[in-house]
Structure 1
Amino acid sequence: MKRLLFSFLLLIMIVGLASPYFTGLQAKQEFTKLIEQPFYAGLTLKETHYTQGWLTANARTVYQLSDVNVSDDEMRQRIIFNHHIRHAIPPHFTTVIESTIESIPSELEMQATGQQFQAHWQPATFSTDVHWDGNVVSRYAVPDVAMQRDNEKIHGQALTGEIRLNLRTQQMVNQLSIPSLEYGNSHGQILFKGINLSANMQDSLLDLMTGEGSLQIEHIELQGDLLPSTRLNAVAIRWHNQVNQEQLTLTVHSQLDQAQTDEGHYGPGVMEFELSQLHLPSLRALQQQIKMANQWSGSQKNFMIMGAMLQHLPQLMASKPQLTIKQFYFDTPDGRTQGQLLVNVQSHPAGMAMLNPQAWLQAINGQLDLSLPKTALQNLIAVLLELPPQEFANHPQVQEYLTQWVSKGWFIVDQDTELYKTAVQLQQGGVTVNGRAFNPSEMRI
């Protein structure tokens, strides 16, 4: 009996001592899966160094920024992560990964201008729990960030967020919060306060994350030379995308509670648009070839983009994609601006004709219905005339064009609401405005 009890206790000790080793192997497998997941957007994994201990492990991963404008790998910026892994030990079956950024380029190359931002920030931290049922919870924090280049500056307060990922179902829930983000240059500045982003996405069969998300901003402050001081309150954007039989549909709903300027208060405003019947495989192939073309410059780049369009646009247009602005309105003290828009592709040009804008006018049908108060129409004319804001209402050319457009029937004044209304239709290359054939020269500014 004693021998049996001793053997049993010895077996328990062997299992207890060996379990950290085997759970360490499992932790390494889970870690490898995790670092290759698509939510490391914009980064390509280049190196991994993993050192396994008895109860813990350490790892080092090197990522490379996927900048398509740079063809030489050595020129691309690299980001290095250090990871400390605590193995899952029964009965918890949870691997905890504490990660920090060891190094990040202090100078971010701006390929479009050839200039550089001087960046100052502290390392970001990540804490990730990997459960053996396939669920991953990662909490991250990025301290204050400051970047400057000549007269431009960017400053962001500490960013915090959480990602929940199921490695088996490929479902990801992401939440992100930024107290404030500011950008300024010699012409003005823009300040975002209370940024909150959330998304619930699912990896689809066509290598696209589908689902829904939202962006909410408490307020936005704008100051500058080209516009009066403006404050936008309660900005919200919601989006949803789905794929059905290789056809992509994207719906975006945006709203603004109020806009405040020195001249008064405006709002609320709402716009909802939908882009549907997009052939996803053709769209992805076109994007990939344009991405490759951007590694080149000059005539070689233009030639490659033209070739990609000639190859993939026919299939993309064959599904007859459609753009719809389902709802749009914006309230002002003088009345509401509102409208609807429908644009769809009925056919598509063939061969080199696809590069001819006139051929596309023959292939696209569209309908625009718009009504707006007089002041909004005057402001639109002033913008087209490139007048300074202080001359929008009183400039003689504004009234001249307004009178001309009404006399020619391009806008009709509703006697009950005093709103200016127009209905524009595009069909088989012909344009009509309020039922009359449209001559662009008569409306030219």
Structure 2
Amino acid sequence: MMKKPRIFLIFSIFLLIISGLIPYITGIKAEEQFTLISMQLPDNLKIVNSNYQRGWLNSTAESTLLLREANDTVQTITLTHQIEHGFLPLKPAVIYTYIQADLSNNTPPNQLTGQASPFFIRTELQANGDVNNTLNMERLRLQQADNAMQWQGLTGEVNLSQTGHLASTTLKLPALHSQSKLGELTIQDLQLQATVEESIAHLLLGHGHLQIGTLTLTNPFIGKIQLSELTINSYNVPNDTYLNLQFLITSKQLQLNTHNYQNVKIVLDLNQIHKESLQNIIVQLNQLQNLQFTSPTQLNFWLLGIMMRDGIPLLKHNPTVNISELSALTDAGTVNAQLKVHIDNLPSVSIFTLNTLPTNFIYEFSLEAPKPFLNKLIQTITYYWLTPEAVSATIIEARLQHWEKQGLLIATQTNQQYKTEITWKNNRLNVNGQNIPTQRVETIEKNY
């Protein structure tokens, strides 16, 4: 009768031993994962030293890395890890990572200066293999020559499935400001949500939602562009052979210098993109940073090789770029436009006939817009090339009426809007059903 209590006691002791070993075994697995990640770093990121101290319930690790950029700028990055082994499956293992960049070792002319808060990552390793990451970086300010960037309040979550593919991500950024010779970019209230379903050569595809409160771009050539309540939704339509993407872009208000537009909407589709060809192109372009070219000619020949090897096969699958809707509300009324670019039955192309490739593209464009809007649009476009007298409202209105008589523009029944349909195919221009000879196009340009 004493055997049952003895067996129970032995079994209990066995469970206690196994339970006690769980955190230690988890620590071993965490160290293996840490080592694996270190071996998979990019070529321009090298580990100078690494120290991993494994305990029974906790471990610590510290690594120093050197990041060498394309302009030979070297950054020193310090990673500090605090690892709680947890008690799987009841309690997940947790890794606290602090990333700090040292900017003091930079030297001119590519000297990078500024201040950066530590980048904090909290990682949970679940029993089923999933990984949940929480991100936080309070502020960043960088300056390099004429380029500057700063942001504040970056937070987010990145969740990885057990297969290793990115499952979902959420990022929030209250403010970002960037400045260069090309102009200034300011973003306020950025939020990003994405669910990834597929990866093609490190190109992650799935469903995404980007929301920006205000985006302002100032450029010395185009002036000021400001978008309010901008949203971009992307969708990946699954297909075994082809990549089909759709983008829905909306903005409550668009300001182009002194012109304002409301309820801007763009629906963009990218269809029939051959996956295998696209993957080969991406893989080769990713190798570009590791290649050393002695001259621009050598680079051009390398890119030409990619075009002939994979670019032409991609085009032979008849990819399509289709803007099925581009609409906006102006002071004079609503503007609607559509644009489709595609290739049908691409003939054999050699390196000697590559210059004829653009003639195989088909362009289809349609527009319906208020007359005052077209008047202002043409004024804006031609302002820098013509004299003030030539871009006066009266002159342009007369030109629009002349185009109407030629059939290039068609007035609607209310006579408040113009519409037109333009097709370019086989080096031939067709406008509203009538073929326009090349000589007539040149005549129209001269008369303008």
Which one of 364, 367, 371 corresponds to residue 370 of structure 1?
A: 367
Which letter maps to 1:360?
A: P
**AA in 2 matched with 1:441:** E
Aligned residue runs from structure 1 range 10-409, under 5 A: 10-31=13-34, 46-47=46-47, 49-60=51-62, 69=70, 77=75, 79-90=77-88, 92-103=90-101, 105=103, 115-168=110-163, 170-184=165-179, 189-204=184-199, 208-222=203-217, 231-259=226-254, 263=258, 265-293=260-288, 295=291, 296=293, 297-348=295-346, 349-356=348-355, 358-361=356-359, 363-387=360-384, 394=392, 398=396, 402=400, 405-409=403-407
Aligned pair in 2 of structure 1 residues 409, 86: CA closer, same or farther (>3 Å)? same
- 1:441 aligned residue: 442
Judge which range, 306-315 or 250-259, deviates more.
306-315
**Secondary structure of the corresponding residue to residue 250 of structure 1:** strand
Cα offset, 1:317, TM superposition: 1.5
Letter of the 1:163 counterpart: V
Cα offset for 1:262? 8.1
Structure 2 unaligned segments of length 5 or more: list them.
Answer: none
Matching residue of 1:413: 411
Per-residue deviation, 1:196: 0.3
| Aligned mates of 1:393, 1:404 — CA distance in 2 | 15
Q: Using the aligned pairs only, state the percent identity.
A: 24
Per the alignment, do residues 355 and 274 of structure 1 end up closer, same or farther by CA in structure 2, a change over 3 Å counting? Answer: same
Q: 1:190 corresponds to which letter in structure 2?
A: L
Q: In structure 2, the residue corresponding to 1:339 is in which secondary structure?
A: strand
Counterpart amino acid of residue 369 in structure 1: S
Q: CA deviation at 1:152?
A: 4.3
User: Cα distance 1:115–1:403, how it changes in 2: closer, same or farther (>3 A)?
Assistant: farther
Structure 1 residue matching 2:312: 3-state secondary structure: helix
**Structure 1 residues 167-176 or 305-314, which shifts more?**
167-176
SS at match of 1:378: helix
CA RMSD of aligned residues (A): 3.7
**Contact 2:382/2:391, CA 8 A, preserved across alignment:** no
Structure 2 Cα separation of the partners of residues 408 and 106 of structure 1: 67
Q: CA distance change for structure 1 residues 416 and 36 in 2, over 3 Å: closer, same or farther? A: farther
Comparing 183-192 with 19-28, greater Cα deviation is found at 183-192
Go from structure 1 to structure 2 and tell me whether the alpha carbon gap of 1:160 and 1:347 turns closer, same or farther (over 3 Å shift). Answer: same
2:101·2:116 contact (CA, 8 Å) conserved in 1? no
CA distance in 1, matches of 2:182, 2:203: 39
- Report the secondary structure of 1:310's partner residue: helix
Preserved CA contact (<8 Å) 2:103 2:113: no
Distance 1:206 1:155 in 2: 31
TM-score, normalised with respect to structure 2: 0.83
Paired residue type of 2:18: V
Give the structure, 1 or 2, with the largest relative contact order (CA under 8 Å, sep 6 or more). Answer: 1
Contact 2:73–2:106, Cα closer than 8 Å, also in 1 = no
1:228-250 Cα shifts (integer Å, max 9, x gaps): 66642210001112441221111
Structure-2 change in CA distance of 1:396 and 1:305 (3 Å): farther
Which stretch shows the higher mean deviation, 268-277 or 378-387?
Answer: 378-387
**2: CA distance, partners of 1:395 / 1:51:** 76
Structure 1 residue 212 displacement after superposition = 0.4
> For the Cα contact (< 8 Å) 1:257–1:268, is it kept in 2?
yes
Shift of 1:359: 4.0
Q: Deviations over 1:254-287 (max 9, x none)?
A: 0011235785742111001111111111122123
Contact map agreement 1:379 1:393 (CA 8 A) in 2: no
Q: Could you tell me which residue of structure 2 aligns to residue 425 of structure 1?
A: 423
Matched residue SS, 1:416: coil
- The DSSP-based 3-state class of the residue aligned with 1:144 is strand
> 1-side partners of 2:202 and 2:131: how far apart?
20
**For the residues of structure 2 that align with 1:129 and 1:337, how far apart are their CA atoms?**
50
Distance 1:214 1:135 in 2: 23
Give the Å deviation of 1:14.
3.4
Give the superposition deviation at 1:308: 1.5
CA distance in 2, matches of 1:253, 1:146: 32
Shift of 1:218: 1.1
Deviation at 1:306, TM superposition (A): 1.1
Looking at structure 2, the residues matched to 372 and 106 of structure 1 have their Cα atoms a distance apart, in angstroms, of 56
Kindly provide the CA deviation profile for residues 345-380 of structure 1, in whole angstroms up to 9, marking residues without a partner as x. 113341025521x4431x222321112223432344
Letter in 1 for 2:351: M
In the superposition, the TM-score normalised over structure 1's length comes to 0.83
Q: CA deviation at 1:56?
A: 1.1
Q: Would the alpha carbon gap of residues 61 and 413 (structure 1) be closer, same or farther in structure 2, given more than 3 Å must change?
A: farther
Q: Which amino acid aligns with 2:136?
A: A
- Judged with a 3 Å threshold, the aligned counterparts in structure 2 of structure 1 residues 344 and 129 are, in CA distance, closer, same or farther, namely same
Structure 2 distance, partners of 1:183, 1:75, is 20
User: Is the 2:201–2:283 Cα contact (8 Å) retained in structure 1?
Assistant: no
Deviation at 1:340, TM superposition (A): 1.4
Residues 30 and 130, structure 1, Cα contact 8 Å, conserved in 2:
no
Of 146-155 and 276-285, more deviation after overlay is shown by 146-155
Contact 1:147 1:155 in 2 (8 A): yes
2:201·2:282 contact (CA, 8 Å) conserved in 1? no
Note closer, same or farther for the CA distance 1:36–1:383 as it changes in structure 2 (3 Å cut).
farther
